[in-house]
Amino acid sequence: MDFTSDNICGVSTEILAALSLANEAETAAPYGADAMSMTLDQEFSDLFQRDCTVFPVVSGTAANALALSACVQPWQAILTHEKAHIEIMECGAPEFITGGAKLIGVAGQNGKLDVAALEKAVRHSGQGCIHRSQIACISLTQTTDSGTVYSVEELAEITNFAKKNKLLVHMDGARFANAVVALGVDTHELVKGIDVLSFGATKNGAMNAEAIVFFNKKLADNFVFQAKRTGHVVSKARFLAAQLQSYLANDLWLQNARRANGAAAELAEKLSCLNGFTIQTPVESNLVFAHVPAALAFWLQDQGVGFYSEESELLGCRKIRFVCGFSTASEKIDKLSALIETYEPVVKAA
């Protein structure tokens, strides 16, 4: 029973069918000059009700690092949450691809940036000081790395702050679909004031297909050369375009995210009824964080249950993360809770 990530899920059958269909054309122009790639800008512009320029890439890390490299100079800095994927899980890719721009991690509850903390960070950053990296961009994650979701109002506060301080805004949307579904608002509401979005699809049913979506189209000028020199202009681009189109068609992306979020809600409900589990952050998407006694966490891992775990601030506990995907079945959740019910803590003799 594996709950380590949404990346463990396979590919949606609709997307596999779209790949197969794309393969029927005997030949197609390479490097994004094919008919399918050429319509992506229009399709995403329709989706977001904003004119945009789209570059498909094959990983979320590439999307983030490249998007950020279009936002900042090497001597500038990016404010982000201290637990953001770009800050702790991308092996320095943003710093590398931007040519050395500095990431500044900011604390915030439940994985979210808040304006008071951003204001403080800017105030103490030495803007204008020759010795200091100059903050030029905010990167926020929607759905956050803690599984929470920024409301439209929270996003507006951050984007207004950015505008007031002449900062660009990047959104890491590796789980963007989960946020759209969680909030139940129109997609375009979530990208107001956003300059560039890393639009995720892989975690939610695609086969290594993501898109960098530039709403601030000036940032896309000459971007293709940066993408090329970092190895991200793929030759058979039609297979990325085919996936993204199929992902959006008939709201597949929203259906998949609805299933993943629903599974996480079901899992959280089951876990919260079990002895020892304390849900740690509000379960708003497809991620479930809980504190559990360390012995139980290790026992579960010994039983072959897959999940991430780290030290918890609660004495004797581990903080664990379960992730549900579009193909997480109820039976798997039932099986997990049945297994947990069989756990018998070892009581030490006095």
Ligand X SMILES: Cc1ncc(COP(=O)(O)O)c(C=O)c1O
In DSSP notation, 247-284 reads HHGGGHHHHHHHHHHHHHHHHHHHHHTSTT-EE-S---
- The phi, psi pair for 157, rounded to 5°, reads -60, -45
CB of 193 vs ligand X, minimal distance in Å: 20
CB of 248 vs ligand X, minimal distance in Å: 19
85 binds ligand X (CB under 6 A): yes
Query: Which window, 58-66, 69-77, 104-112, 215-223, contacts ligand X (CB under 6 A)?
Result: 58-66
Q: How many CB atoms within 10 Å of residue 344?
A: 6
| Residue ranges of E strands in 142-257 | 168-173, 196-199, 210-214
Q: Which one of 172, 238, 271, 300 is in contact with ligand X (CB under 6 A)?
A: 172
- Which residue's CB comes closest to ligand X? 60
202 binds ligand X (CB under 6 A): yes
CB of 33 vs ligand X, minimal distance in Å: 25
What's the start-to-end Cα distance of the chain, in Å?
Answer: 35
174 binds ligand X (CB under 6 A): yes
Cβ 273 vs Cβ 221: under 8 Å: no
Nearest to 5 by CA among 333, 285, 323: 323
284 binds ligand X (CB under 6 A): no
Q: Which one of 37, 59, 148, 178 is in contact with ligand X (CB under 6 A)?
A: 59
Helix (H) or strand (E) holding 293: strand 287-293
In the bound state with ligand X, the residue whose beta carbon lies nearer, of 232 and 270, is 232
60 binds ligand X (CB under 6 A): yes
61 binds ligand X (CB under 6 A): yes
In the bound state with ligand X, the residue whose beta carbon lies nearer, of 15 and 122, is 15
CB of 142 vs ligand X, minimal distance in Å: 9
Cβ 190 vs Cβ 160: under 8 Å: no
Which residues contact ligand X by CB under 6 A? Answer: 59-61, 64, 85, 141, 145, 172, 174, 202
